[in-house]
Amino acid sequence: MISQATLILWAVNSGVGAVLLVLLVVRKNYRVFPAFSAYLMLNLGVGALALLIYHRWGFSSWFSWRIAWGMQGAVVCARALAVAEVCRRVLGRYRGIWALAWRILLGCAVLVLVYSSLAAGHDSRLALVAADRALELAIATVVVGALLFARYYDVQVRAVEFSLALGFCFYSSFNVLNNTILEHYLRRYEALWNPLGMFVFLVALLVWIWALRRPQTAIPEQDLLSRGVYESVMPEINLRLRMLDDRLSHFFKSGANR
């Protein structure tokens, strides 16, 4: 049976998620963040279906476990697309940077598929947990990497994109820890695994509501520099790019010599 605390958290999360969806529609921000809006809709639908499955077959049954993890995989993939959307909002104005970013996302997806196939040779329950943890880790890594890259090269990150990225990173990072504990203490921890994850997701929802409380522009505005300022800063930009190129060359040469 589902605990009362889990039911309360599910009701609160569903209500807050519905408020966020309504806010997206009222402020017309669903046009600016379509993947994020689709992720929220899918998450609400999957949450309701999972509750019905748990209520009918129980949380620990083999049928509930397989169906729930299948739905979880769909939600995490939708979240990965929403994260890619946020990263594109941050870096998309710079074609070279975004070209690198989407390749990193694709590479992470391929690594997850490889990791999942390797983990499938063990206990199927633990394989699902390990695969989900790998995808969550990939999401958190991409978010942190994009923000660090933007910080290093002084790419302006607006408050809304930063808040969305912060919510994604916080939730995915916690899920990595949560799934790691579940993998080692499956029977003793599974009663806490779901409520804790729901509580952390509630925190992320509140952060997103605050970020999207106002209408957002479809394309972030960017002030163009005058020709004189542009010519004065270009040598410094080129120097930093050469430094990055030297670091990457040294890194790949070191890796080849191992």
Contact 119, 82 (CB under 8 A): no
The token pair at 246 is: 């030297």
Residue the block writes with tokens 């430094």: 243
CA 159 to centroid of chain Cα atoms: 17
**Predicted pLDDT of residue 224:** 47
Distance CA 179, CA 70 (A): 15
Tens-level pLDDT at each residue, the chain (258 residues) = 567 777 888 889 999 999 999 999 999 999 999 999 999 999 999 888 877 887 777 666 677 777 877 887 888 889 988 998 998 888 877 776 677 767 776 776 677 657 655 654 555 556 667 777 877 888 888 888 888 878 877 778 889 999 999 999 999 999 888 888 877 776 677 678 778 888 999 999 999 999 999 988 765 444 445 555 555 655 666 666 567 656 656 665 665 555
Report which residue type is found at 100.
Answer: L
Residues in CB range of 135: below 8 A, 6 or more apart: 73, 76, 77, 80, 112
Burial of 175 (0-12, 13-18, 19+ CB in 10 A): buried
* Selection from 102, 51, 54, 45 nearest residue 75 by Cα: 45
| Number of C-beta neighbours around residue 186 at 10 A | 15
Q: Taking the domains of the chain in order of start, what are their residue ranges?
A: 4-218, 225-258
Residues in CB range of 57: below 8 A, 6 or more apart: 63, 64
